[in-house]
Amino acid sequence: MDMSDSTDTRNAHQRVWFVTGSSRGLGRSLITAVLEAGDLVVATARNPKALAEELKDHDDRVLALPLDVTSADAARAAIDAALDRFGRLDVVVNNAGYANVSPVETSDDQDFRAQFETNFWGVYHVTKAALPVLRQQGSGIVVQISSVGGRVGGSPGIASYQAAKFAVDGFTRSLAAETAPLGVRFMVVEPSGFATDWAGSSMTVHPTPEAYDSTVGAMNRRVRQGTAGSAGDPNRAAEIIVRTVRRGDTPSHLLLGVNAVNLALNYSRRQLTEAETWEAVSRSADFAEPYPVELPPA
């Protein structure tokens, strides 16, 4: 990818953001926060026409582009268009994603795979398309919008979504190690529930068999179809992301929301306790270690 012919229209203090899934939810809030911070943004969505109309007062700082993240060719074309307009990329945000609900046993295979195509392969395609640009610049950050479920897991009914988020985390950890000497940074954002339409019009809830009513069904009634609403403010979350990215020492993982913090801390404590309980057994698998050892008390 040759950037020599690109025209850099930003000033020295402006960052160029590239955001997927920016037509609504956290992505839409993020576009607003980026503009309020004075930066430039490439706002992508499957259908960006409405977004372009909303942002027409910022035409000099916004490029709205169509993007189906499941297409590698489309991802490369969108990155090229961003470079043609703004000359560089500073922040790439993989936000596009969705979840449908059904127990694994009764999930439609094509639906399960289609979710994974967006939630993991979309991240892969956009990140891979951006990497040559960031490497050549020797700078830039990729922000992966994941979920606290991608750390702790265990949410009944959304196995495809959570499996993809775990995959994104593993993918990003490897990338961070590969690119550490190249000036490219990565940050995985792990929100809990936010007041977006993630569990509304964006989500299809398939029929739940009676056998799964106490797990998938209960989760649907309590969280996904409940009337209390989510605690998280997407506008605050977007502002936090923008402020954090502008620091030089971004965290590898950023939890957002009270539930995200509580779930992550409790999960880490349980992990540590379990690892310590089984430590002697685990060590005994190596040739040089004493063997056999007693299993922990039941």
Catalytic residue among 23, 102, 155, 165: 165
- Is 165 one of the catalytic residues? yes
Q: Contact 96/27 with Cβ under 8 angstroms?
A: yes
Which of these is catalytic: 146, 160, 192, 230?
146
List phi, psi (to 5°) of 99: -135, 140
Q: Angle at Cα 266 formed by Cα 262 and Cα 269, nearest 5°? A: 145
Domain boundaries, the chain: 16-256, 266-298
pLDDT in tens, 30-74: 999 999 999 999 999 988 887 877 888 888 999 999 999 999 999
113: tokens are 């795979």
- Is 161 a residue of the active site? yes
pLDDT > 90 fraction of the chain, expressed in percent and rounded? 80
Out of 161, 192, 212, 230, which one is annotated catalytic? 161
CATH of region 16-256: 3.40.50.720
The tokens describing 220, both together, are 């649907």
User: Over the stretch 179-206, which tens digit does the pLDDT of each residue have?
Assistant: 999 999 999 999 998 876 655 667 888 9
Q: At 11, is the pLDDT very low, low, confident or very high (cuts 50, 70, 90)?
A: low
Angle between helices 25-36 and 234-245 (to 10 degrees): 50
pLDDT at 47: 84
Instruction: For residue 34, give Cα distances in angstroms to 16, 126, 236.
Output: 9, 19, 12
The interaxial angle of helices 72-86 and 122-137, nearest 10 deg, is: 40
pLDDT at 8: 52
Find all residues with CB under 8 Å of 221, minimum gap 6, and list them. none
Would you call 3 helix, strand, or coil by DSSP? coil
The token pair at 210 is 């009676």
